[in-house]
Chains A and B, each alone.
Chain A
């Protein structure tokens, strides 16, 4: 289980890194999104990989906290998703602005000389 998730996160992040090193803005934003998916999964998994554990509830007679899933990493990942989504959307707006003003989608704002 751990190995599968680790490989999935690694593949996502690796593809993201490759994509942000490409020269087109569309590739960069796709890469950033893949990387942020990988990071979100990563934060989630840092609460340990568990199956079949109930969320933490406030009932009397909780036997042990180990019976429950870690709520903090879930809270963290929610915040990270929201912030990542907002900043990526902002980047998209600037990308469109750059495309309109420079007439190219190259990150340098001009086509490389062939």
Chain B
């Protein structure tokens, strides 16, 4: 590959780096924990640097046409596999890198040592997620999904106990079936259009004979079913709360990102395949209603859950439902807000799941069940004598971090959740079209989900932090407090710099609204000449 600047190969770095580091880490003895951790940390820092570089290049339009195209093995676009780094992909890469860095530091204290090969599996998970964000080929997307899922199966089991095994039996079975659906969808799309390259899909779909359309529609719907199982749309998302609650906190925090990969795939594929032509906006209305049902399911589940892990799981379902409804509403302006919401809710839910692991330390077992029973039967708790103990710093930190997470998840002012909700309502009401009944329903459900979130989290917080009795100050390490503060301070930064961020996200959704650019860029991406200057 002579004559190719190194910046072109940068697109491959987010996939290649974790693969190499993860494979190398298998060879390192488990006992050398410090070495393993430092290699993983170094790799994560490099990933963050690569993601930021890609982000910068994509946003500064240093590549022709706002996106970098990498032709793997130098094959021309519809025939080989193309990796594409545009604004959206780069943004998701940065989010992944930031989140994985925080989770990795959190796991330093104990979680990464309670089982074998945590670091390798973690890096393979990153490879799968990054690959899924970058690839522009449907079958390659399937392969990266499988890499991501295989690593996540190992990670969910990490720290082997009965609860985790039971949860992962269901988690794996469901995901294996979803993968089979994925394959059926791909096969049908290939049979009807003859291509699996996403950019090539659009023109071919538009030129399809009406007789072939049902086959393509069936394929696309089955494919969407596979994505939405990962994204936990009602009624496909029953696996999620159980899995989140059972997995160890760092793993659960990474799983939050995985639910977003399914929705990302829809955001990526749908405008390219069904952006224009006879099938424009195909099935998006179904996605909208599915999103509303998911919102409702998440809100009710939130109210019913007793432990922090399950609450965070339902929080993730609510955020998935909101995103699905936003994507289903099919307006570029709404998508801008959707991206902002995605960033904030992912960071906050992940922080909350990390926090849940710490909160478990101060909660006495059974108190959660007691709290719900007491409310259900209106049993007054006898106030005990106040104990004159000052709040230890660790407890204060937990309380404050909990409040921060709750503010973002429920969308109360002043953090990023509120900005997201406010701009969402603003966009919904501001659009030139008449405000329909569906829009009102959507807004009502979002408000209701916020309310149930507030009720559930308040109940949990009051019972946990203000509980009378002997509340033991937990032992808290810096490496555990730091990642949570980091994630929450990112949410604060998102609030402070909302205007430039939203401007960037607007450019992102404008890119997506112009699928023609993708088609042109990817398909016309030049093949590099061979080393001798001859034909490639």
Q: Evaluate contact between A101 and B165: CB separation under 8 angstroms.
A: yes
Partner of B173 from A28, A43, A48 at Cβ < 8 Å: A28
Q: Is B183 an interface residue (CB 8 A)?
A: yes
**Which residues of chain B from 142 to 168 have a CB within 8 Å of any chain A CB?**
143, 146, 149-150, 153-154, 157, 160-162, 165-166, 168
Which of chain B's residues have a CB closer than 8 A to the CB of A36?
Answer: 176, 180
* A6 interface hit (Cβ, 8 Å): no
CB B307 to nearest CB in A, in angstroms, measures 18
Check B150–A42 contact: CB distance below 8 A. Answer: no
Is B374's CB within 8 Å of the partner chain A? no
- From residue A6, how far is it (CB to closest CB) to chain B in Å? 13
Minimum C-beta distance from A3 to chain B (A):
17
Q: Are A98 and B166 in contact (CB under 8 A)?
A: yes
Interface mask (B376-393 → A, CB under 8 Å = 1, otherwise 0): 000000000000000000
Chain B: interface residue count, which band? 20 to 34
Contact A43 B183 (CB under 8 A): yes
**Interfacial chain A residues near B173, Cβ < 8 Å:** 20, 28, 32, 91, 107
A72 within 8 A of B: yes
Question: Which listed residue (A25, A32, A107) contacts B176, Cβ 8 A?
Answer: A32
Known A32-B176, A102-B165: A94·B157 in contact at CB below 8 Å: yes
Enumerate chain B residues within 8 angstroms of A39, measured Cβ to Cβ: 180, 183-184, 187
Bound complex: CA of A73 vs CA of B191, how far in Å?
9
Q: List chain A residues, Cβ under 8 A from B146.
A: 83, 87
Chain A 80-100 against B: per-residue CB contact (8 Å), 1 yes, 0 no? 100110111011001101100
12 pairs, CB–CB < 8 Å, chain A vs chain B: A25-B169, A43-B187, A76-B139, A76-B190, A83-B146, A90-B150, A90-B172, A91-B172, A98-B169, A107-B169, A107-B170, A109-B166
Q: Which residue numbers of B lie inside 8 Å of A, CB to CB?
A: 139, 143, 146, 149-150, 153-154, 157, 160-162, 165-166, 168-170, 172-173, 176-177, 179-180, 183-184, 186-188, 190-191
Q: A46-B190, A48-B191 are in contact. List 6 more A-B contacts (CB 8 A).
A: A79-B139, A90-B172, A91-B172, A94-B157, A94-B172, A107-B170
